Amino acid sequence: MDGNRFLANLKDDFRRGALAQRDALSPESRAGAAMIVAARTLPLELPPGTIVAGYSPIHSELDPFPLMRAFALKGATLALPVIIARDHALIFRAWQPDEGLVRGPLGIFQPSSDADEVDPDIVLVPLAAFDRAGHRIGYGRGYYDRTLQNLRAAKKVTVIGLAFAVQEIETVPRLPHDEQLDCVLTERELIDLRSL
């Protein structure tokens, strides 16, 4: 077994364990954590025109919508990802909390094709597991890694992983294509990695 295959299998094990921890949280705990995260003061500048992209939560993910609303109250423009299935990548479309969403190719809610495509300045990223070095384990399809690599090649982007504290692991096995987070935000703390 080559090194990358070994690391991928190890990531699968960590993913299963962290998702089981996340799934074990009660709906009330998850909702409370989302409100705590939304109330946290973040050390981020929001100049006029800042675009913040979140995501539509699935399964037991931390709900980013309260945090996104908090960004909107500070003047940010909001966006959500749209899956481009053939490319295994994402684009982002502008979205307001009062606007409806449509089901995308994987059943995840996203803005309609009428919404403007935008390039975010801040991206809120879901994850299965994370470590204190800013490495994440996603769901194994690489959508965010490809997308973040393309965004970062074009502009400065701040990437914030949203998670519950129980999703932290000691060390995430890292593959060459894995993109690093700038911050990790949980209900317990903000881990800011931008100055490291």
Annotated binding residue 16? no
Annotated binding residue 141? yes
3-state helix, strand, coil in the chain (%, to 5): 30, 20, 45
Annotated binding residue 55? no
Annotated binding residue 155? no
Greatest CA separation for the chain: 51
Spatial distance between the Cα atoms of 22 and 20, rounded to a whole number of angstroms: 5
Annotated binding residue 100? no
Positive or negative, the CA dihedral 66, 69, 74, 77 is: positive
CB 96 within 8 A of CB 69: no
**Helices 65-73, 27-39: inter-axial angle, 10-degree rounding:** 20
Annotated binding residue 11? yes
Annotated binding residue 104? no
Annotated binding residue 168? no
Annotated binding residue 170? no
Q: Which residues are annotated as a binding site?
A: 11-15, 61, 136-144
Q: Which residues are annotated as a binding site for ATP?
A: 11-15, 136-144
Q: Which residues are annotated as a binding site for substrate?
A: 61
